Every structure is written in structure tokens, then in C-alpha cells.
Amino acid sequence: MKLSKTISLLITLFICYESKSQNISDYDFENFKNTPKFLSEYGFFKDLKNQIPIEDVYPYSLKSELFSDETDKLRFVYVPKGKKVGYVKNKVFIFPVGSVLIKTFAYLNKNGPLEAELLETRLLINTNNGWQAISYVWNKDQTDAKRAIAGATIPTKFINMSGEIINIRYRAPNQNQCKECHQLKKVMTPIGPKARNMNKLIQYRTGEMNQLVYWAALGWINENLGSTSISNYADVNAALEDRARAYLDINCGHCHIPGGSADTTGLYLNYTEHGKEQIGIYKKPVAAGRASGNLKYSIVPGHPNDSILLYRMKSLDPGIMMPESGRALSDKKGIKLITEWIDKL
């Protein structure tokens, strides 16, 4: 009888332990302290390897994305039940405390013989003490991702848009490097999820729907935001000016914005900036040093090769390149776009 009760108790404890490791609601993200060693411990996904989320975690996508060595990005968001997401025009959504933004970087290699490879998954957790950034690097077997406080370098290869196999040493940032981009007025913050950059259709479990409409149906935001929409810079049918400004906004505007980490440069590349000198036209650098390439102005209309902005985009020298982290390759399509834009100014 005693043995039976003991076995019953052990089974109960085992079930409780198993459900805890798979149940997102068991984590107190508001007072988040004990960071899991492995990504699987959170229970964000019912199929971790194939990135299929549980019902309370939803995919999201951006119209214009940050260039990160041609990686594919799989984005998800968790918002605690019954909580609202705040909205301020042209600003990042104000996610309630307890929310989690999940972003997996991968080479899906859809256009060639190489298998898909998950590289790293980054979490932004909104706690009572502000946003906390945590990075997990995937193992070779693609079964789980382990916390990487010091970052990691991942030798790999992928198939680019031209069908070429590219060898690369992909760099996952350390915890402090996350602050270089995810910082506004010295406070950690998300970058991408603004209403204007999410006003698009994506595929949900129930079918295709506009993200903002879907979020309204979830009760996260108001039904009518009156939001404008930013261009997808990859859309060749969109206006050149809109495409170029959208590219600079998502790739540069999180630092080059009032209150951003590049505030002191006076070069503001966020989408809503309209001052000609502020966006770089005939603007002299504050203290670029050799990074200026002996050029005089950030942007010289009609002369892309005389423009510091383009010179730094092309460079792979750590002391010159912009963005200064998050890439080991030059963005050829982005360079082509900004070249055409400056040429037409």
C-alpha cells in the first residue's frame, strides 16, 4: 500500500515537473530572475525545431527588415492574457510588462540543396525592471538552443538570392552588444514592431490576415489606429525615395535618432526625419576620423561615391563599417538602393 502511494506520488511529481517545463504560464516574466539554460525550457514552441509556437505565442513580421547577413528571421510575440499593447504614432508598440519578443535567425536555404539551419534565438523580455535581452545559440543537431552570454561565432554556409553558396562566420552578439542597437535614451527597447512597419498580411493558423487587424481581434490594440504604412524597401515598384528612407530607418534609424546611441552625430536617419542636413545632405561628420574616407559630407546629392554614408555601408573594416555590428557581409541590394537614391537627389 505504501509502495503504491509512493509510486503515485512520484508520477504526480513527474507530471508536474514535465508540465512546468512546457507551460509558458508557469514563468513569471514580470519578475523574471532565473534565466533558463536552454530555450526549450520556456515552452514557447510545441515543435521547437520547426518553430511552431503554442497557442498563446503568435507570429509577426515586418515590412522592412534589418539586414543581418541575409539571414531569415522568424518572429513571435507573447502578451499576457487580458493585457493591452499601447500605441503611439511612429513609435514602437508599448508592450505590457510580462511580454516576450522572440526572434530566431536562420538560413532556411529554400532555393538550393543546403538544409535549413537555425543559428540563434534572441529574446526580449519585458520585466518590472525593464526589457531584458537573452540570446540562445542552436546546437549542431538542431534540437535545442543554449544560452550564450558571451555570444558565439558560428561557421556556416548558406545559399544567397543568386543561388551562390556563401561561407560565413556568423556572429551572435554578446549580452552587452544588444544594448548598442536596442537602446533609446539609455533604456533598453525593442526596435522593429511599429504599426507602420507591421501593416501587412501574414499567415496565421486560421488563415491570412492583416497583423494590425489580428491584434485588434485579440484585444491587444484598438481596431482603428489611423496608422500610416512604411514601404517595403525590397519592393521595386514602390517609390525610390520611400524605399531608401525605409531602408535607412530599419537599418540605421534605431541608433541615428534623437536619444539613440548615435545621437551626438546629429545624423538622424529615422523615417520621420525631414531636415535635409539631419538626414545627411551636405552634412559634415562630427568626428568620423578615418571612417570618413577623406570625404567631406555624409550625402552629396548626385554623387554617391563622394558620400560618407555609402562609403561606410560598403566597408567591412570594423573601424569604418556601418552598421558597426550585426553583419560580416556587405548588403549588396541595400548599397544598390542607396546608390540609386543619392544619384537621384
pLDDT over 70 at 257, yes or no = yes
pLDDT, residue 107, reads 96
159-191 pLDDT, tens digit per residue, is 988 889 999 999 998 877 666 677 777 788 898
4-23 pLDDT, tens digit per residue, is 333 233 223 332 333 334 46
pLDDT over 80 at 255, yes or no = yes
Q: Find how far residue 95's CA is from the centre of its chain.
A: 15
Position 210, amino acid: N
Q: Collapse the DSSP code of 344 into the 3-class scheme (helix H, G, I; strand E, B; otherwise coil) and give the result.
A: helix
CA–CA separation, 236 and 231 (whole Å): 10
Residue 246 CB contacts under 8 Å (≥ 6 apart), including other chains: 63, 64, 230, 231, 232, 233, 271
DSSP labels, 96-129: PTT-EEEEEEEE--TTSSSPPEEEEEEEEEEETT
pLDDT, residue 37, reads 96
Q: Whose CA is closest to 232, among 251, 215, 246? A: 246
What are the sequence ranges of the domains in the chain? 23-218, 240-344
pLDDT tier at 108, thresholds 50, 70, 90: very high
pLDDT over 50 at 3, yes or no = no
Mean pLDDT throughout 281-308? 92
Taking the model in full, what pTM does it have? 0.88
| 29 close to 23: Cβ distance less than 8 angstroms | no
